[in-house]
Amino acid sequence: MNEPFVHKIFTGKAKTIGDPNAEKKIDREWTTGMFKKEMGEPIWLSKTGLTGDEVGDKKNHGGPEKALFTYPVKHYTYWKERLGEDAIAIGGMGENLAVLEMDEYTVCIGDIYQFGDAVIQVSQPRRPCWRPARRYRTMDLALQIQNSGRTGWYFRVLQEGQVLSGIDLELLERPLPDFTIAVCNEIMYVRKEDLNMAYELSACNLLAENWRRTFKKRLRGQESNLEKRVYGPNK
């Protein structure tokens, strides 16, 4: 197996687009940090992310447990077929890192990597929201991403430092080889009756707290309403 590789790094400022008075939800005003630009020079990675990077929704995005959103380059072949060749390109999912030789089946919760001068750790899968749907004018795109398993994942930062695209990620530790991103997604979205695995994940201190909290609710017989996450606010 080849070494995991950071193909490109992206950062971007949040911006507001759309029409606040539009009748259709997909045309309404929204704020996002999805529209990022490729960074070719070394850049500082702090505990909360890359210098100059912003999110549009600070309540649900960003912060130490979502410092770096990472997405496999190979998934774009699939999305180009579904959304159109000219509609989407690498960086189009709003990722900070576009990676090669990594995917949801080969990356595990708690994996620790050397990334340039920084040290990063896998914290959680991405739970897709309505913003890609707005960008690509496909109302159920969040569900498509979720159901495809091509979600990507987040890193937390254990050690700050300078990072650069075009370099390998060196795997330093793999404490939870059974908890791949794919397994976590399957338990979250498909195997909802598997309470034993829900319990294990709820007790996993290397999994981000928001994911653990969702599994704890499931163990109490509660499921989160996905409407707002998937389709966006009504106003």
Q: Per residue in 135-162, pLDDT tens?
A: 999 999 999 999 999 999 999 999 999 9
How many residues are listed for the chain in this entry?
235
217 phi and psi angles, rounded to 5 deg: -65, -40
Which pLDDT does position 233 carry in this prediction? Answer: 79
Fill in the amino acid letter for 52.
Answer: G
Predicted structure pTM score = 0.96
Which pLDDT does position 235 carry in this prediction? Answer: 56
Instruction: Tokens for 191, please give them.
Output: 């195997």
More confident call, 144 vs 1: 144
Which pLDDT does position 234 carry in this prediction? Answer: 67
Checking if the pLDDT of 101 tops 70, the result is yes
The CB density around residue 194, as the number of other CB atoms within 10 Å, is 14
Do residues 93 and 36 touch, judged by C-beta distance below 8 A? no
Rg of the chain in Å (alpha carbons): 17
Mean pLDDT of the chain: 94
CA distances from 42 to 101, 165, 167 (A): 22, 8, 11
Q: What is the DSSP letter of 199?
A: H
The confidence band for 1, taking pLDDT boundaries of 50, 70 and 90, is low
Checking if the pLDDT of 49 tops 90, the result is yes
> What 3-state class would DSSP assign to 99?
strand
Distance between CA atoms of 27 and 134, rounded to whole angstroms?
8
Give 70-87 pLDDT, tens digit per residue.
999 999 999 999 998 899
Checking if the pLDDT of 179 tops 70, the result is yes
Alpha carbon dihedral 104, 32, 13, 144, in 10-degree steps, equals: 20
Instruction: Tokens for 175, please give them.
Output: 């404490």
Angle at 9 between CA 186 and CA 61, to 5 degrees: 50
Instruction: Express as a percent the part of the chain with pLDDT over 70.
Output: 99
The confidence band for 197, taking pLDDT boundaries of 50, 70 and 90, is very high
CA distances from 195 to 102, 218, 219 (A): 28, 8, 7
The confidence band for 205, taking pLDDT boundaries of 50, 70 and 90, is very high
Which pLDDT does position 141 carry in this prediction? Answer: 95
The confidence band for 61, taking pLDDT boundaries of 50, 70 and 90, is confident
The helix or strand, by DSSP H or E, that contains position 119, with its residue range, turns out to be: strand 118-125
> Which of the four CATH numbers 1.10.10.10, 2.40.33.20, 3.40.228.10, 3.30.450.20 does domain 5-231 have?
2.40.33.20
Checking if the pLDDT of 62 tops 90, the result is no
Do residues 212 and 201 touch, judged by C-beta distance below 8 A? yes
